[in-house]
Amino acid sequence: MKFQPVSRRLKNGELVIIRECQPQDAEEFLQTAKTYIMDSKEFLITEESFNPTIDHEVKYIRTFMESENSLLLIATHNDKILGNLDLRGGQRTKVRHTAVIGMGMLKEWRDIGLGTLLMECVINWARENPVLEILWLQVFASNVAGISLYKKIGFEISGRQTNFIKIQDDIYTDNITMDLKVK
Ligand SMILES: CC(C)(COP(=O)(O)OP(=O)(O)OC[C@H]1O[C@@H](n2cnc3c(N)ncnc32)[C@H](O)[C@@H]1OP(=O)(O)O)[C@@H](O)C(=O)NCCC(=O)NCCS
């Protein structure tokens, strides 16, 4: 096991557990991800284009388990999967010290500290990881909650592509990259 599970009470008083995602979580994890993608405008992937099979998801989970610089965490409440944070380490030699973060959670579990907890868990893990030096992420400029969380946890804006994201016809937003040094 790469990550020792963490349990914590959120601002709503509920106890959640953060643990590494396992192949047997694939089906429910997929369902949770589909639901939160449907309930958010802040992802590059759209609901219609997100259709992995359970087999594909099992393989996806295994790639994190087998990669030294990657980690896939899920948050659970009474064994129900609420959301996840994925840390995907670079596989080429010149970027193995970097890892990109993606995250999301069910709408009713947002804004009560779960994102902060997932981030704290992964940053602590990355600090102990022998390879990783830089964590980074991409976020839409319109994602106020996301940017607010990332800044609070220590990420700094490292780049901005103006009007790079086309949300819908004639509506654009900037693509922002943010970095955090862990060593
Ligand atoms: C972005 C996301 C992962 C954040 O997780 P979360 O659990 O909601 O985050 P937290 O509750 O830990 O922290 C959010 C912070 O943003 C703040 N915030 C939320 N909305 C805000 C707003 N409109 N203006 C300013 N701050 C805001 C909250 O107050 C909180 O800060 P605090 O802890 O100091 O009070 C979650 O909202 C989510 O899944 N959103 C949809 C998918 C998504 O955007 N994924 C990330 C793509 S880059």
Domain boundaries, the chain: 6-136
> Which residue puts its alpha carbon closest to atom 21 of ligand 1?
145
Q: Is residue 146 within 8 Å of 101, Cβ to Cβ?
A: no
Residue from 45, 77, 110, 157 whose mutation best tests the ligand 1 pocket (most atoms within 8 A of CB): 110
Instruction: State the CATH class of domain 6-136.
Output: alpha beta
Q: How far is CA 134 from the centre of its chain?
A: 15
The pLDDT of residue 1 is above 90: no
Q: How confident is the model at residue 99 (pLDDT cuts 50, 70, 90)?
A: very high
> Which residue puts its alpha carbon closest to atom 6 of ligand 1?
115
Task: Report which ligand 1 atom has the smallest distance to the Cα of 119.
Answer: 12
141 lines ligand 1 (CB under 6 A): no
12 lines ligand 1 (CB under 6 A): no
Measure the CA–CA gap between 46 and 50, rounded to whole angstroms: 6
Q: How confident is the model at residue 74 (pLDDT cuts 50, 70, 90)?
A: very high
The pLDDT of residue 82 is above 90: yes
What pairing do the DSSP bridges indicate for beta strands 98-105 and 134-140? parallel
142 lines ligand 1 (CB under 6 A): no
The pLDDT of residue 31 is above 90: yes
Handedness of CA 72, 88, 160, 163 (dihedral sign): negative
Average pLDDT over the chain reads 97
* Prediction pTM value: 0.97
Mean pLDDT for the stretch of residues 15-23: 98
